[in-house]
Amino acid sequence: MLKSKLRIVQADCTLANFEENLERHIKAIETAIRDGADAIAFPELSLTGYNVQDAAQDMAMHIDDRRLDALRELSRDICIFCGGIELSDDYGVYNSAFMFEDGAGRSVHRKIYLPTYGMFEELRYFSAGRQIETVTSRRIGKVGVAICEDFWHMSVPYLLAHQGAKLLLVLMSSPLRLSPGQGVPAIVTQWQTIASTSAFLLSCYVACVNRVGNEDSFTYWGNSAVTTPDGSIAASAPMFSEHSFDATIDYSVVKRVRLQSSHFLDEDTKLFASQLETMLSAKHQG
């Protein structure tokens, strides 16, 4: 597999209304299938809305829940990534990324870093994920999935890339944050810098899928983008409005970039692991 067509859906959703959000997903997926997309990606918590608070427990569902049957069926023709509230086998409630392909569903990532500061209070309603691992899609290859705040921690993209992911997919519900000055909001520039830097240093694609719309006091800014392995933007969506676009994920570009500059391939993971173990041991003894 050298090339795949990825449909990015920068969407709004209705808070705590699973049925309405599911219907929006179905329409977008059907359109993407007609257009020949290999995979489609939606934002963080796209099936439920972000600020669900106490409703999280009521809305949580297992990946095998029959209410997700429509997505399983559609996935026979396309690989689907979307965000939902997951109920685990031991009844933990997680902010999760789901993947559907070939008629089956998988929970591919549980958000690890749950922001609980300022306007955020995720730790009150969700359990934190404990695994960083890639997923392999027949249609789009080996993918590393992260959820919003996870990508602000270097360990997440680093570990995903070194497990073989050549596409890092970031599902986001990033709201505006008040900051002084005019022009492009600081949070937008910060995300652009993080995506570009990660793509360049790890020599891989980074696809950020952010939502738009208003939800209580939250305003989501969109500007979803796909960044190439050299750190440049291949395609992007506007700010503040719903928008879908396609990006070609061309793995021959990853090959070319890594052959031109081997900084990713030269990374000494054994040295990193050894030094980290030494640091943790010293901290434990101290």
pLDDT at 284 over 90: no
Q: Cα angle at 252 between 250 and 253, to 5 degrees?
A: 75
The C-alpha atoms of residue 30 and residue 39 are separated, in whole angstroms, by 12
CA 241 to CA 249: how far, in whole Å? 24
Contact 10, 209 (CB under 8 A): yes
Using one digit for the tens of pLDDT, what is the confidence trace for 55-75?
Answer: 999 999 999 999 999 999 999
Cα separation, 134 vs 108, whole angstroms: 8
What are the tens digits of pLDDT across the range 62-121? 999 999 999 999 999 999 999 999 999 999 999 999 999 999 999 999 999 999 999 999
Phi, psi of 170 (to 5 degrees): -115, 110
User: Three-class SS of residue 239?
Assistant: strand
Is the distance from CB of 207 to CB of 195 less than 8 angstroms? Answer: no
**Burial state string for 40-58 with b = 16 or more CB within 10 A and e = fewer than 16:** bbbbbbbbbbbbbeeebee
d(Cα 41, Cα 95) in Å, to the nearest integer? 16
DSSP assignment letter at 77: S
The number of residues in the chain equals 286
pLDDT for 141 equals 97
The single residue listed with the structure tokens 């209705």 is 14
Total Cβ atoms within 10 A of residue 158:
18
| Calpha distance 109→95 (Å, rounded) | 9
What CA–CA distance (Å, rounded) separates 108 from 105?
A: 9
Structure tokens at 11: 């969407």
Domains assigned to the chain: 3-285 (3.60.110.10)
Under the banding of pLDDT at 50, 70 and 90, the label for residue 11 is: very high
> If DSSP codes are grouped into helix, strand and coil, which group holds residue 108?
strand
Task: Report pTM.
Answer: 0.97
Closest-CA residue to 73 (of 18, 33, 120, 107)? 33
Radius of gyration of the chain (CA): 18
CA atoms within 13 A on the CB side of 204: 23
Rounded CA separation 273/268 (Å):
9
**For 140-162, what is each residue's pLDDT tens digit?**
999 999 999 999 999 999 999 99
